[in-house]
Amino acid sequence: MTSGFNGQKFRLVVAIQAAAIGPGPLRKYLEDKHWDPMPPVMESIFWSLECSTPIRQAIKSAAKVHRLACICYDSFIENIKKARPARPNVNENEMHDWLCFDTPVRLTMPFPPEAIHPPSFVEQFWLHRALWAFELYSYIYRAATTRWAWSPKKIGRYTGTFLIFPNEMNWHEDEHLTITQCMRCLSRKEPIQLSSYYPLLIKLPSPDDLIINSCWPLSDPVDMNHFGNKVDRSWERSPWFAKHPGSAMGTFRSLRSDSLVNSDSPLFQCDLRVFRGLGISFWYDWRLYEMGLQSKMGFAAQPTPEYEKPITDVLYTWYSLVKDEDLVDKNAFPFRRRNSWYIR
């Protein structure tokens, strides 16, 4: 899990810890879109280090990130087991009334066992990448407040830039909001917030300070440039997808925006924390299909979905997960009416 861009973050942690890189070169490297392979100058900095202490510290960070990833996934899967979404086994008129007019949800039942299998390499890599971004920022923050002696205002400006760097090391908001929420739910004490401008930026707690403990074996190394077969590509299961953010929440927003749904419906009035608790941002499309949160897509080859789920069925399952306490305006996205008729 320290391959690809995660490996670059590991090397940056070593360089920052060894005081071998300053804010100017650091920003230049973070802004560089071509991190694979690592820029030659950064490679020379890394290999010129004679002190083993920064490397040992980075190895400890890698172990911490892996343990936290295991704990997060155990938490997500446990929440999926407890969730009771409504299955869309009502007629289409009733389903349309629920989606558009807030008719009560009925017929709840657990997610099927197929939706609760252990995370794939792609899913694990996404979560490790998100945790590594937190860990890297905490090292940058520590250097900025001590060695570089930056003011809070300057740190805030740099942080804003850090969050929008255009390469694959950048911030994927849904993923990182999920991490922050998970850490706050599982920590015995409130995690340290590193930025007053960006509350989601926290210092990752020690795994020993969390209320659950877990550690899975690492996945075998894979070639992240491998595209896989057509079926794997259509369901985000190829190793190549590990280099990109997951599409789960984008799928949800597209379903919602492309359908004629009343803006007063729960579809537009819920706090997205309910989905963060299930780790939705870190699941690939095949798992989402098994959960009933994705319609059939891509190629009709193995693994073959039983049938193509209509959009109404998928939306019904998404928001049957929303409880009364989740119906608040925070994090709701603007409603856009695109079609004159509800799309099935």
In a domain, 310, yes or no: yes
The answer to whether residues 207 and 68 touch, using CB atoms and an 8 Å cutoff, is: yes
In this predicted model, what pLDDT tens digit does every residue of 249-290 receive, in sequence order?
888 887 777 665 566 666 676 778 889 999 999 998 888 888
In this predicted model, what pLDDT tens digit does every residue of 196-221 receive, in sequence order?
878 889 999 999 999 998 887 776 66
Q: What Å distances lie between residue 159 and 17, 146, 152, 228, CA to CA?
A: 19, 16, 10, 37
Q: With 90 as the cut, is the pLDDT of residue 31 above it?
A: no
Mean pLDDT of the region 51-76: 89
In this predicted model, what pLDDT tens digit does every residue of 119-155 receive, in sequence order?
888 888 889 989 998 998 899 999 999 999 888 888 8
In a domain, 338, yes or no: no
Contacts of 290 (CB under 8 A, 6+ apart): 111, 112, 114, 115
In a domain, 336, yes or no: no
Mean pLDDT of the region 230-253: 68
Q: How far apart are CA 183 and CA 180, in angstroms?
A: 5
Q: With 60 as the cut, is the pLDDT of residue 342 above it?
A: no
User: What pLDDT sits at residue 339?
Assistant: 28
Specify the range with the lowest mean pLDDT, choosing from 51-60, 175-184, 225-234: 225-234
53-82 vs 121-145: helix axis angle to the nearest 10? 130
In a domain, 333, yes or no: no
Contacts of 93 (CB under 8 A, 6+ apart): none
In a domain, 306, yes or no: yes
User: What pLDDT sits at residue 6?
Assistant: 66
Read off φ and ψ for residue 42, nearest 5 degrees.
-65, -40
| Confidence grade of residue 336 (pLDDT, cut at 50, 70, 90) | very low
Cα 31 from chain centroid (whole Å):
21
User: What pLDDT sits at residue 57?
Assistant: 87
Instruction: Count the Cβ atoms, other than its own, within 10 Å of residue 38.
Output: 18
User: What pLDDT sits at residue 67?
Assistant: 95
User: What pLDDT sits at residue 289?
Assistant: 85
Q: What Å distances lie between residue 21 and 11, 134, 157, 173, CA to CA?
A: 11, 19, 19, 27
Average pLDDT value for the chain: 74
Mean pLDDT of the region 41-51: 63
User: What pLDDT sits at residue 134?
Assistant: 92
What is the percentage of the chain residues whose pLDDT exceeds 90?
21
In a domain, 278, yes or no: yes
Specify the range with the lowest mean pLDDT, choosing from 69-83, 227-241, 276-290: 227-241
Q: Between 307 and 321, where is the model more confident?
A: 321
- The total domain count for the chain is 1
* The three-state (H, E, C) secondary structure of the chain, written as one string: CCCHHHHHHHHHHHHHHCCCCCHHHHHHHHHCCCCCCCCHHHHHHHHCCCCCHHHHHHHHHHHHHHHHHHHHHHHHHHHHHHCCCECCCCCHHHHHHHHHHCCCCCCECCCCHHHHCCCCHHHHHHHHHHHHHHHHHHHHHHHHHCCCCCCHHHHHHHHHHHCCCCCCCCCCHHHHHHHHHHHHHHECCCCCECCCCCCCCECCCCHHHECCCCCCCCCCCCCCCCCCCHHHHHCCCCHHHHHCCCCHHHHHHHHHHCCCCCCCCHHHCCCCHHHHCCCHHHCCHHHHHHCCCCCCCCCCCCCCCCCCCCHHHHHHHHHHCCCHHHCCCCCCCCCCCCCCCCCC
Q: How far apart are CA 122 and CA 304, in angstroms?
A: 20
In a domain, 337, yes or no: no
Mean pLDDT of the region 72-94: 80
Q: What Å distances lie between residue 145 and 29, 113, 200, CA to CA?
A: 20, 48, 19
- For residue 127, which of 321, 341, 254, 276 has the smallest C-alpha distance? 276
In a domain, 80, yes or no: yes
Q: With 50 as the cut, is the pLDDT of residue 30 above it?
A: yes
Please report, to the nearest 10 degrees, the dihedral formed by the alpha carbons of residues 235, 239, 241, 243 taken in order: 170
Domain extent at residue 55: 5-325
